[in-house]
A and B are shown apart, each in its own frame.
Chain A
Amino acid sequence: MGMRIDMEAAEVAANLVVGHGRTRWGGTGLTIEVQHHAGGRFKRPYIRIDCPPQHWLAVAKWLRFEQGVDHCSMITGIHWPEGSDERRWEVVIHLMRMNVIDPPERGDWVEQVVRDASILQEEDVPLEFEVSICLPDTRTPSVPSVQQVWVGADWNEKETWDLVGIDFDGHVGMRRVLLPHDSPVGYHPLQKQHKLRYHDFEEMYDDAQGFQRKPVDAGKIK
């Protein structure tokens, strides 16, 4: 028979982390709360953290080493050119507490870790985290890198810089990963000034993006 974690235990576990977080980070401008997925069968709880950029590295270490958040699922960026003053750029990080451990060694063999989901409680319950970091209007958006905390953040940060143009302080080996290596400096296609719409093709092939080329039907009315 299939299994799943107990939703009440998940609720308790999430509130526990939020309680720790409020004690630890009270007065720093960080907000932490339990939210719920709006669709699906279970309305799973997840923990939403709004973090000021200067505290992000410390918060990441707290999550990793005190709350057992061992998996960095995704780091992504959003460009809000028409957003509020304090949110022109946003970095969104999705983390998970998976509680994965190496199987315990028994002499020269190892014992499988087979967990029964329905009896997991408190610290053992897997949880989801969503961290949002907002940046004010700037030409050089940047947040601290967490490459050293989760190695999995490495390529996520590379991709976010490549596509969105948000830099990560302290990231070692930043480079283009999805776009060609010789893409023009400052060209990050997911920024909102780059349009995709067909009848805006003049803008799409704008020389400011450095491609120096025009479509064969330039100037014709579609």
Chain B
Amino acid sequence: MAEMWISMGPQHPMTHGLWTLKVKVDGETVIDTEPDLGYIHRAVEKIAELRDFTKFTTYCDRLCYASANTWSHAYIYAVENLLEVEVPERAEYIRLVAVEIQRIASHLMWLGAYCPDVGNLTAFVWCLREREMMLDLLQELGGSRLHYNFPRVGGVKRDLPIGFAQRCRTKINLFLNRIQEYEAMLDESTVFLVRTQGVGYAKPEEMVNHGVTGPNVRAGGINYDVRWAHPYSVYDEVDWEPSVEKPSIKGADCYDRYRVRVEEMQQSARMVLDALDKMPGGADTHHQHGDEAILAKAPLRAPEGTSGFHHFEDSRGESMFYIVGGGEQRGKFPYRNSIRSPMFITIPYASKCMIGYKVADIPAIMGSFDPCIGETDR
């Protein structure tokens, strides 16, 4: 049978956002692919050149709706490197709680979107039920449901609300119980196992050479994590360990990438519980807005010739901002703000990863890398 190109997208339920995957098929076998991105390019890097440092956090939230908090934190850490700001320890703990709850919510959103792709619709409803609990917690912190604008240069917007610690512990413990139900359901679901096991093999060295990072690499059997390799925040003081999966000899398949995220959610939950216990000043005290325990003073301007960057462990891999100071308004705006999106690099790799498999495996392989088009196109 003659080879032919099929265009999957831009609007297709499997693609999770607007992008096109051009697939060259021979019969039912994929023999070449070519991703085509940029459908929702919003020129965020250009917009940043006309916003001062505090105003740009809202745009960072909107880079990825499923993981808004991690993106705004990644940006804020880079700005703090640029402006030479020291953050109070309590604020670091609050940030850790916010980021890790967001990581759970993001992975739940992924699991909820992935399971229907491979034929298990129940998990979608279950995951979104638990994700709603996490969003409620984040709403208490940030004030809105998806885009929180929570971190500030030098600290956080608000302290933990009264009673937050207790509600958080209850919900996280409930979540830890319920995630066992997911594992029981998915690990014994023949449909799920048949669709995910043995497809989409990827090896760590190759992945890193292609620029893939985060849970996808840890699924390959190595515990590399930006949170310990390039330490920031208080990850060295709370109780956790990097999730790592035991892959097969051919590399990590889609099932390993599912397992590593489930494990990572449990580690994040463990971290949140421990951070609430260890928080300086106690998790039940509440400081007013702008109190020096949660917000340090920070300069408004970055002089010419300065730059700052920060590698951050996002839910999908290593995200990074590189900011050059000395823009307009005598340094109030950045001269250049450059964003590294983990998914922008991962999607081309994932597209190559599916060569040799069947067309029906495309959603299973693509979805297992957790694509998010908002951050990809920026």
Contact A178 to B229, CB < 8 A, known contacts A39-B83, A109-B249, A151-B209: no
- Which of B104-112, B117-125, B317-325 faces chain A? B317-325
B208 at the interface (CB under 8 A from A): yes
A94 at the interface (CB under 8 A from B): yes
How many residues of A are in contact with the other chain, CB < 8 A? 60
Q: Which of B310-337 contact A (CB under 8 A)?
A: 310-311, 318, 320, 322, 324, 335-336
Contact A113 to B221, CB < 8 A, known contacts A40-B77, A105-B249: yes
Q: How far is the CA of A81 from the CA of B231 in the complex (A)?
A: 36
Q: Which of A47-101 contact B (CB under 8 A)?
A: 70-74, 76, 78, 92, 94, 96, 98-101
Q: Please, which residues of chain A bring their CB within 8 A of the CB of B37?
A: 177-178
- Which of B60-68, B239-247, B282-290 faces chain A? B239-247
Residue from A3, A115, A152 in contact with B209 in the complex, judged by beta carbons closer than 8 Å: A152
Contact A3 to B228, CB < 8 A, known contacts A78-B336, A151-B210: yes
Contact A96 B311 (CB under 8 A): yes
Contact B311 A101 (CB under 8 A): no
Contact B204 A101 (CB under 8 A): yes
Contact A94 B322 (CB under 8 A): yes
Q: Which residue of A lies closest to B80 (CB)?
A: A39
Contact A102 B211 (CB under 8 A): no
A130 at the interface (CB under 8 A from B): yes
Contact A73 B211 (CB under 8 A): yes
Q: How far is the CA of A190 from the CA of B324 in the complex (A)?
A: 14
How many residues of B are in contact with the other chain, CB < 8 A? 75
Residue from A73, A176, A177 in contact with B318 in the complex, judged by beta carbons closer than 8 Å: A73
Q: Please, which residues of chain B bring their CB within 8 A of the CB of A71?
A: 208-209, 211, 213
Taken residue by residue from 325 to 357, chain B's Cβ proximity to chain A (1 for < 8 Å, 0 otherwise) reads as: 000000000011010100011001000000000
Contact A112 B92 (CB under 8 A): no
Contact A38 to B211, CB < 8 A, known contacts A2-B236, A117-B228, A178-B377: no
Q: Which of B30-72 contact A (CB under 8 A)?
A: 37-38, 41, 43, 45-47, 49-50
Which B positions have Cβ atoms within 8 angstroms of A?
A: 37-38, 41, 43, 45-47, 49-50, 77, 80-87, 92, 203-205, 207-213, 217, 220-224, 227-241, 244-249, 251, 271, 308-311, 318, 320, 322, 324, 335-336, 338, 340, 344-345, 348, 377-378
Q: Pull 21 A–B residue pairs with CB atoms less than 8 Å apart, ordered by A.
A: A2-B239, A39-B77, A39-B86, A40-B81, A40-B86, A41-B231, A41-B232, A42-B232, A71-B208, A72-B211, A92-B322, A102-B221, A103-B220, A103-B222, A103-B247, A109-B246, A110-B248, A151-B209, A155-B345, A176-B38, A189-B46
Which A positions have Cβ atoms within 8 angstroms of B?
A: 1-5, 37-42, 44, 70-74, 76, 78, 92, 94, 96, 98-103, 105, 108-115, 117, 126, 128, 130, 150-156, 159, 163, 176-180, 189-190, 194, 196-197
| 4 smallest beta-carbon distances between A and B, as pairs | A152-B211, A39-B80, A4-B231, A103-B221
